[in-house]
Amino acid sequence: MFTHILAPYDGSKNADRALEKAAQLAKLTDASISLLTVFRHHSMLEASLSMVRVNDPGRIDDAMREHASGIVAHGKQLLIDAGVANVRGFVRSGRPAREINQFAIKHGVDLIILGSRGLGASGDGYLLGSVSHKVTGLSKCPVLVV
């Protein structure tokens, strides 16, 4: 019933729980999993760090991309250890919800599985994390929020 699952992954505990469900569903339905980590590139980050002025913004992007690659590699290993046969990892920069939905459309994803709150979330309030909310609202395919 599912052939291509997209698992946005930021390394948070909620993302790990979502990954477990993704692994179970992928094995049950013989689906492949695309793992995706999105980092915000420098110009967006700078807006929230107004006291910081950096001489070489390219180096921040490089560092963030490297960090994101490490997160993807970690998630990929978790899925392989869980017995998922077909896993690919991707890193993108930009606005997370938009990148996630664009990836899903472009790659024929038929299920997105993500944690209810990621690293950017504060506290345990009732509101859904903004990324989860935006992805669910924008998505053209079913979204499983774990």
The β-bridge partners of 112 are 6, 143
Q: For residue 146, state whether it binds its own copies (rule: CB under 8 A).
A: yes
CB 114, CB 135: distance < 8 Å = yes
Q: For residue 3, state whether it binds its own copies (rule: CB under 8 A).
A: no
Q: How far is residue 56's CA from residue 136's CA, in Å, rounded to a whole number? A: 36
Q: For residue 64, state whether it binds its own copies (rule: CB under 8 A).
A: no
Segment 68-127, which members bind its own copies (CB under 8 A)?
116, 126-127
Q: For residue 128, state whether it binds its own copies (rule: CB under 8 A).
A: yes
CB 93, CB 72: distance < 8 Å = no
Token digits of residue 126: 């009732």
CB 60, CB 54: distance < 8 Å = yes
Token digits of residue 8: 């946005």
In the bound state with its own copies, the residue whose beta carbon lies nearer, of 55 and 126, is 126
- Of 35, 27, 40, give the one whose Cα is nearest residue 8: 35
User: Which one of 21, 65, 95, 98 is in contact with its own copies (CB under 8 A)?
Assistant: 21
User: Which one of 3, 13, 29, 83 is in contact with its own copies (CB under 8 A)?
Assistant: 29
Q: What is the largest CA-CA distance in the chain?
A: 51
In the bound state with its own copies, the residue whose beta carbon lies nearer, of 51 and 125, is 125
Nearest approach in angstroms of CB 142 to its own copies is 5
Q: Which range in 4-12, 47-55, 86-94, 138-146 contacts its own copies by CB under 8 A? A: 138-146
Token digits of residue 114: 């993500």
Q: For residue 24, state whether it binds its own copies (rule: CB under 8 A).
A: yes
Place of tokens 């999993």: 33
Q: Which residues bind its own copies (CB under 8 A)?
A: 1, 21, 24-25, 28-29, 116, 126-128, 132-133, 136-139, 142-146
